[in-house]
Amino acid sequence: MKIEVVNGNYHYEKRRKKFPDLYARNINFTLEPGEIMAILGPNGAGKTTMLKCITGLLEWKQGETRIDDKALTSIDRKELWKRVGYVPQAHKMVFGFSIEELVVMGRAPYISTLAQPTKKDLEAAHAALDTIGILHLAKKSCNEVSGGELQLALIARTLVSDPEVLILDEPESHLDIQKQIVILQTIKRLSQERGISCIINTHYPNHAFYLADFVLMTAKEKDVVYGKVQDVMTESRMKEFFDIELKKIIYEEDDYLVETMVPRALGTERNLSSCRFNDFQ
């Protein structure tokens, strides 16, 4: 499935009047099956609003989202949510749903109003949980699992409708580094094995390096920049968008490659005179 945005703009009219040249520039991108795009920017840059406009949860002020060259607004909503999976940021549940019940909710496009989930729906939920690797948590309450496990359950909830596109809102936020890696590896595996296109919101440059084919960078009162990761995520542009100096580092070992960016401010100055003296010891 191809998903694209043509001349999309979601900025409020007051901002457009204050910065007419900046906010007249619209969002344009196209994702083919199996491709991943990261929306990268600091907090408060409007990334979540942009995602909601892409999915039709909010309306674009201008422009439109298209699915296979067809305007999203012309597609039946139930059919749309069979093809598009939206994963919001995970928050602890206030109700005592089990993980199994949470995931079965993703079958809503296939279940008639007032009907109960069928055996087929439960089997689909268990298959999705197994794909994500948390089938053993099926009977656990959402309030009993960790934030990372809940985030994985939300991804499983989208998979039960067998989507062709996954759209994820900062799925790795508020998680420890191990859980972040599990989430990222799961998203990448789903894209590679199922040909699912993915759009992921993040404010972690390293995650964009690991996951994405393309990146769309956004920040307050900045023009949107879109393109291939290597072309867009330069040291100078990261300084411009994040207001911090980042150094790009490439690590290679045999067939293993890691590209990362580290804040220069977190480095420590070496005592050069001490280093020179120690060289002769």
Average pLDDT for the chain? 86
Per-residue buried b or exposed e for 37-46, using 16+ beta carbons within 10 Å of the residue's own CB: bbbbbeeebb
Write the CB contacts of 47 (distance below 8 Å, at least 6 apart in sequence). 39, 41, 169, 170, 201, 203, 218
Q: What is the pLDDT of residue 272?
A: 59
pTM here is 0.84
pLDDT digits (tens, 9 = 90+) for 114-148: 668 888 889 999 999 998 889 999 999 988 888 88
Question: What are the boundaries of each domain within the chain?
Answer: 3-234
pLDDT digits (tens, 9 = 90+) for 98-123: 999 999 988 887 776 666 888 888 99
How far is residue 261's CA from residue 153's CA, in Å, rounded to a whole number?
A: 30
How far is residue 50's CA from residue 27's CA, in Å, rounded to a whole number?
A: 10
Q: What is the pLDDT of residue 63?
A: 94
Answer yes or no: is pLDDT of 16 > 80: no
Residue 95 C-alpha from the chain's centroid: 26
How far is residue 281's CA from residue 55's CA, in Å, rounded to a whole number?
A: 64
Strands 214-217 and 197-202: unpaired
The 3-class SS string of 88-155 reads CCCCCCCCCCEHHHHHHHHHHHHCCCCCCCCHHHHHHHHHHHHHHCCHHHCCCECCCCCHHHHHHHHH
User: 3-234: which CATH topology?
Assistant: Rossmann fold (3.40.50)
- What are the tokens at 115? 């009907």
